[in-house]
Amino acid sequence: MEHARTEPNYMAVFYWLAALTAIEVGVTFLPLTKLAIGAMLVVLAFTKAALVALYFMHLKFERRTLALVAITPVLLCIFLMFMLVPERFIAPQRAAEVPQQSTTSR
Amino acid sequence: MSQAAAIRITPTEPVEYSLTDTLGKLGMWMFLAGDAMGFGALIVGYGALRFFSPNWPVPASVLGIGLTALMTFILICSSVTMVKALSAIARGDQGRMRLFLLLTIVGGLVFLGLQAYEWTHLMTDKGMGITGNPYGSAHFGATFFVLTGFHGMHVTGGVIYLICLLVRGWLGKYSAAHVYPVEIAGLYWHFVDLVWILIFTFVYLI
């Protein structure tokens, strides 16, 4: 049993993805602060990821609840990121112990 | 509810799945959500190690951005051919489905070949390893190889998956009425592409 598939313009999505990739590489050469470049790259990357998820993976045309399944790992990873912030306060000591060259056992 | 009505061996009307039209698609999405957590944990862990490290090299000065941008483009192209394969079989076009599946497999293999070349170049010419490198923190090499290696394993598995799909396609298992196996494989392949888009940004560009 086949339900009617709404087909987006796949080639248009492809051109956007290709253009965004080129823009991403170009942004790294801009004379801006690392923070500004980083922020732009994150936005560009997530836009590309969203395009792939929504159109190639057909998420835009599925039930909304499926999008909740898909977005859950993103939310959990953001939570994970904030969970690692306390590491900042004990990290400086650990970072000093990181071996510079080849293997050393701790 | 009476005793008789409470016992039903088979449903008398078509069962409507609440989330997706097939359980297979839902199963794949659930698997991908879990897989995304795996990659997410690796990427966030990499981010934490890098952010708190005093001597992390600038990735663009060590890693080849041009080659990797090409790899990203090839993987995006393979996602397009995958979606075109699905589009073809949805129309009942067996020939074009096989062609686009083959192109997707080729794209995946080219990506893996370039990855292997990049790794070899980094290990032999630039002395990067999983336990140390001449550019700074040992975590730089470790996180790079673990992240790209984990992803490369997923691409390898995906290529094998697609080859099996292509063989079954040749045997005529798919049609306009039975596209779901192709659709589900497509979901996996697009996920692999999506993860690479994120890895390319966070490991190579930032």
- Report the distance separating Cα B135 and Cα B115, nearest Å: 21
Q: Write the ipTM.
A: 0.86
CATH of B21-52+64-205, one of 3.30.2290.10, 3.40.50.620, 1.20.120.80, 2.40.480.10: 1.20.120.80
The amino acid present at A63, given as its one-letter code, is: R
Nearest to A43 by CA among B198, B8, B93: B198
**pLDDT at position A71:** 94
**What is the nearest CA distance from A77 to chain B, expressed in angstroms?**
6
- Report the distance separating Cα B124 and Cα B184, nearest Å: 39
**What is the nearest CA distance from A56 to chain B, expressed in angstroms?**
6
Distances (CA, A) of B58 to B146, B147, B185: 18, 17, 36
Q: Tens digits of per-residue pLDDT, B165-193?
A: 999 999 999 999 999 999 999 999 999 99
Are A28 and B201 in contact by the 8 Å Cβ rule? The answer is no
Domain-wise residue ranges, chain B: 21-52+64-205
User: Average per-residue pLDDT in chain B?
Assistant: 92
H-assigned helices in chain B: 3-6, 23-51, 59-62, 65-90, 94-120, 138-170, 180-199
**pLDDT at position B21:** 83
Across the interface, which of B47, B52, B79 has its CB nearest the CB of A81? B47
Decide if A20 touches B, using CB distance below 8 A: no
Q: Tens digits of per-residue pLDDT, B21-67?
A: 888 999 999 999 999 999 999 999 999 999 888 899 999 999 989 99
Q: What angle do CA A26, B197, A14 make, to 5 degrees?
A: 80
Query: pTM for the full model?
Result: 0.88
The residue whose two tokens read 């159109």 is A55
What number of C-beta contacts closer than 8 Å exist between A and B?
Answer: 146
Residues 44-103 of A with CB under 8 A from B: 44-45, 48-49, 52-53, 56-58, 62-63, 65-66, 69-70, 72-74, 76-77, 80-81, 84, 87-88, 91-92, 94-96, 98-103
Q: What percent of chain A has pLDDT over 90?
A: 65
Does A100 score more than 50 pLDDT? yes
Contacts of A87 in chain B (CB under 8 A): 48, 52
Does A90 score more than 70 pLDDT? no
- Report the distance separating Cα B108 and Cα B102, nearest Å: 10
Are B167 and B182 in contact by the 8 Å Cβ rule? The answer is no
Helix (H) or strand (E) holding B194: helix B180-199
**pLDDT at position A92:** 58
Name A40's Cβ contacts closer than 8 Å, sequence gap at least 6.
A27
Decide if A18 touches B, using CB distance below 8 A: yes
3-state helix, strand, coil in chain A (%, to 5): 70, 0, 30
Contact between chains at A17 and B198 (C-beta distance less than 8 A): no
**pLDDT at position A106:** 42
**pLDDT at position B19:** 81
Across the interface, which of B19, B40, B183 has its CB nearest the CB of A77? B40
Decide if B160 touches A, using CB distance below 8 A: no
Does B150 score more than 90 pLDDT? yes
Is the Cα torsion angle B140, B40, B146, A84 positive or negative in sign? Answer: positive
Does A105 score more than 90 pLDDT? no
Q: Tens digits of per-residue pLDDT, B114-139?
A: 999 999 999 999 999 999 899 999 99
Q: What angle do CA A32, A35, A37 make, to 5 degrees?
A: 50
Contact between chains at A65 and B65 (C-beta distance less than 8 A): no
- Report the distance separating Cα B186 and Cα B81, nearest Å: 10
- Report the distance separating Cα B39 and Cα B202, nearest Å: 12
Contact between chains at A98 and B73 (C-beta distance less than 8 A): no
